[in-house]
Structure 1
Amino acid sequence: MVAAIVAVMGLTIALPDAWYHTLTLPRWAPRDDVFGVGWMVVYAITTVAVISGWRAMPTREGDWLIGLFAISGFLNIMWSMLLYRLHRPDWAQVEMILFWVSALALVVHCWRWSMAAALMFLPYLGWVTFTGYLNLVIVRLNGPFG
């Protein structure tokens, strides 16, 4: 459920506008449609990871997993807001640190109870890492902002 909410909000918030298309982007930056599909695939996998991990954990640990995933989803939405709506890739880069740590926390939390769930969170961590690096390059190519 949380993954679906984040995905829908991401589709409405993270639509690149005219401002985004004026930025200098690296040659390897994915097209808008590819980036969106990437997020959808990653969130589909993370949904399976959350369900798998939650089922393998005692109640208290499962509650922590849901909480960590909700926090990570919130940080994803905030990153999108900062970048795409407020046009502040520099602020988004700072926030990306928390977002990345939240993705890593999901892997670490699941590792003890479900290695399969932990491994399924690795594409999420990888995609967040890639997104963070792309954000960093955007800041370097286009800054300062504000």
Structure 2
Amino acid sequence: MPAASRTPASDTLKSAWPGLAVWLLICFAAPALGSAAGPGEWYAQLTKPSWNPPGWVFGPVWTTLYAMMASAAWMIWRRGGWRGQRGALGLFLIQLTLNALWTPLFFGLHRPDLALVAIVALWIAIVSTIVAFARVQWGAAALLGPYLAWVSFATFLNYTLWRLNS
């Protein structure tokens, strides 16, 4: 961009893109770590409720949610970095860790009961993260709303699968 057409805003946005890329990598690392334990034969054999979504739904939903999560974390990070937003970003990383833990518990160990404990903890961590993000930037908190809704549904599905198959 020629110096005459550059503005402080365009310079700031240009320098912010690497941060977004890092948050995207962090957020998409969670499902990558858990992907070794996929649904497989065990899940196919489970008794499922009539309202269980078809398998093809999960990929697009989670891809969208991870992108929204990364965008939300990036927005908070831009408001003070790690030092300025340690609490909010720390909560975000806790919920992301719990998110990554669910797949190996459910699909890898075939333990819907333990996965239910993890997803309830995840739900609490997401709510805590939304509250912390809202104190910094409402838009970032709002980006986590669909994630909370989906995890609420997933929690009920996890519970139902556990009850139907225990």
TM > 0.5:
yes
Letter of the structure 1 residue corresponding to residue 40 of structure 2: D
Looking at structure 1, the residues matched to 140 and 36 of structure 2 have their Cα atoms a distance apart, in angstroms, of: 28
Larger deviation, residues 52-61 vs 2-11: 52-61
Q: What is the CA-CA distance between 1:58 and the residue it aligns to?
A: 6.8
Q: TM-score, normalised by structure 1?
A: 0.89
Looking at structure 2, the residues matched to 12 and 34 of structure 1 have their Cα atoms a distance apart, in angstroms, of: 19
Q: Which digits, 9 at most, give the CA deviation of each residue in 1:29-71, with x for residues without a partner?
A: 1122211221111111111111112223575442223322221
Can you give the 5+ residue segments of structure 1 that lack an aligned partner in the other structure? Answer: none
Secondary structure at the aligned position of 2:78 is classed as helix
Secondary structure at the aligned position of 2:56 is classed as helix
Partner residue, 1:87: 110
Is 1:31–2:54 an aligned residue pair?
Answer: yes
Is 1:16–2:36 an aligned residue pair?
Answer: no
The alignment yields a C-alpha RMSD, in angstroms, of 1.6
Report 1:95-110 matches (<5 A).
95-110=118-133
Q: What is the CA-CA distance between 1:12 and the residue it aligns to?
A: 3.1
Q: How many residues align?
A: 142
Contact 1:79 1:96 in 2 (8 A): yes
Is 1:141–2:141 an aligned residue pair?
Answer: no
Identical pairs, percent? 35
Select the residue among 65, 78, 81 that pairs with 2:88: 65
Residue 26 to residue 64, structure 1, CA distance change in 2 (3 Å): same
Q: TM-score, normalised by structure 2?
A: 0.79
Is 1:7–2:31 an aligned residue pair?
Answer: yes
Contact 2:82 2:89 in 1 (8 A): no
Residue 65 to residue 12, structure 1, CA distance change in 2 (3 Å): farther
Partner residue, 2:78: 55
Looking at structure 1, the residues matched to 87 and 156 of structure 2 have their Cα atoms a distance apart, in angstroms, of: 28
Partner residue, 1:115: 138
Q: What is the CA-CA distance between 1:9 and the residue it aligns to?
A: 2.0
Partner residue, 2:4: none
Residue 133 to residue 57, structure 1, CA distance change in 2 (3 Å): farther
Can you give the 5+ residue segments of structure 2 that lack an aligned partner in the other structure? Answer: 1-24
Q: What is the CA-CA distance between 1:104 and the residue it aligns to?
A: 0.8
Looking at structure 2, the residues matched to 115 and 103 of structure 1 have their Cα atoms a distance apart, in angstroms, of: 15
